[in-house]
Amino acid sequence: MSEHCVEIWNNCLKLIQENTRPQTYKTWFEPIKPVAYEDDENVLTIQVPSQFFYEYLEAQHIPILKFAIQKILGPTGRLKYSIVMDNYGSDHPLDIKVPTTDRTNTVNPAVRVPINFDDEQNKQVLNPFVLPGINKIKVESQLNENYSFDNFVEGDCNRLARSAGMAVAEKPGKTAFNPLFVYSPTGLGKTHLCHAIGLETKKHHPNLIVLYVNAEQFIQQFMSSCKNKTRNDFVHFYQMIDVLIIDDIQFFSGKAKTQEAFFHIFNHLQQNGKQLIFASDKAPVEIKDMEPRLLSRFKWGLSADMQAPDVETRIRILKRKAFNDGIELPDDVVDYVASRVKSNVREMEGLFISLIAQSSLNKKAITMDLARQLIERFVHNTTQEVSIEYIVNVVCNNLNIPIEEFYSKSKKREMVQARQLAMHFAKKYTKCSLAAIGQQCGGKDHATVIHALKTVSNLLETDKQFRTLATEIEKNIC
């Protein structure tokens, strides 16, 4: 191994490290070893540990490799791989060069990238979604084509959010739903809805710049811009987006500088009639360590709660999933699975995939027996989330109150107290928002739930008899 090839590769690694996440760099670039450099052909040979490693580099990291090689060796620079084949015990070289043709359609959203994109002041700005050295005016939306409205099953649990999303997609920035703030516990379809809105918007308005970004990705990009002293370019880039979708925005909590930068982005987009869409696992009022001025802006438009689907909606979700995958599921199996997995659509779909896998691998038909076996294993190995429905049943059983009276409009003292206890334990043992708790405890509003929580808290401290009753109920819930 020549010192020259080591020097060349080390210089390439410096560029790669600056433009990739630490874990990506450590996993996919640190194991690579320089082998040789052919000066007359301007070719660097690197050694990779396996065929899979080589194929993954080719599939995922060609743009950054191309950029680094051509930055260090010039536009004629090429790359050759030497693949260590463990089963052969020796090197098995493959002559694969990095193409010199334009590969700008390949985008790695985890890296930092400048583009020639003039704003009103003819300034160059940094596009955090393409590679350094590649001119890319078009911003990739980062939308998943599988998460369309066609694949989004509507039910009472999500009808408001879906309807608002459709309205926003048809007239982005021109409805009262700006921003549109969608919230629910995890696994109930927020991310699917966000992608669906973006895809539908592009269908109606192909010339608009639509961008989906996770809050953690946004934070990482902002931190990189601060480190590289390109914060203004970062803000200017996001101010050019027509429809900005940010998922898991609760992760902005406690990030004061990120919130400050985002505040300016929000104001600019809002004032210029651009559409903002946010998703969170909490309602705006429940997000802690967020600047009040941002929280107030989250409430300017519509906050739409997505709840756990009822059994009929879960059945339709499973049938749609089976249809899309070309799988025939017996109706009794669909009904059984939908009735047993209640709290999380993602878990239900995971069980569906396991069912298909077991049937395929073991060459067995999908039957009720197979479904029962998987359900028993699934229920046994998974920590089941306590549902509000279950809590209501426990409270009513302990207080000898008929379920139908609990959900009635009766304002008898014992009925009011039963609802307050149910709300108290729902807040303690579920991840549901206050609005969802109120809705499932007799159709009460957010303010009623807050009052109930305060009332129960005071009684637990001052009323021994009430405290004993609540303790007994809690034992049955746990």
pLDDT at residue 1 in the model:
55
pLDDT at residue 172 in the model:
94
Contact 345, 317 (CB under 8 A): yes
Residue 347 has pLDDT above 50, yes or no: yes
Q: What is the mean pLDDT of residues 284-290?
A: 86
Q: What is the set of domains in the chain, with CATH numbers?
A: 3-94 (3.30.300.180), 149-305 (3.40.50.300), 311-381 (1.10.8.60), 388-477 (1.10.1750.10)
CA atoms within 13 A on the CB side of 152: 28
- Rounded Cα–Cα distance for residues 235 and 261 (Å): 7
pLDDT at residue 173 in the model:
92
**pLDDT grade for 115, boundaries at 50, 70 and 90:** very low
Residue found under tokens 């109920």 = 473
- Rounded Cα–Cα distance for residues 295 and 285 (Å): 7
CA dihedral 430, 432, 434, 440 (to 10 degrees): -90
Q: What is the mean pLDDT of residues 299-322?
A: 84
**Would you call 168 helix, strand, or coil by DSSP?**
helix
Question: String of b and e for 39-76 (b: at least 16 CB within 10 Å)?
Answer: eeeebbbbbbeebebbeebeeebbbbbbbbbbebbeee
C-alpha distances in Å from residue 144, one per residue of 191, 212, 319, 477? 10, 9, 21, 39
pLDDT at residue 478 in the model:
64
Q: What is the mean pLDDT of residues 53-71?
A: 81
Contact 184, 307 (CB under 8 A): yes
Q: What is the mean pLDDT of residues 174-184?
A: 92
pLDDT at residue 111 in the model:
30
Structure tokens at 462: 């001052």
**pLDDT grade for 113, boundaries at 50, 70 and 90:** very low
Answer whether 0.75 is exceeded by the pTM. Answer: no
Range of weakest confidence among 166-180, 315-329, 417-431:
315-329
pLDDT tens digits along 144-155:
888 999 888 888
Task: Give backbone dihedrals phi and psi of 455, rounded to 5 degrees, phi first.
Answer: -65, -50
pLDDT at residue 129 in the model:
64
Count of CB atoms situated within 10 Å of the CB of 135: 11
**Residues contacting residue 293 through CB under 8 Å, at least 6 positions apart:** 263
- Rounded Cα–Cα distance for residues 57 and 314 (Å): 40
pLDDT at residue 248 in the model:
92
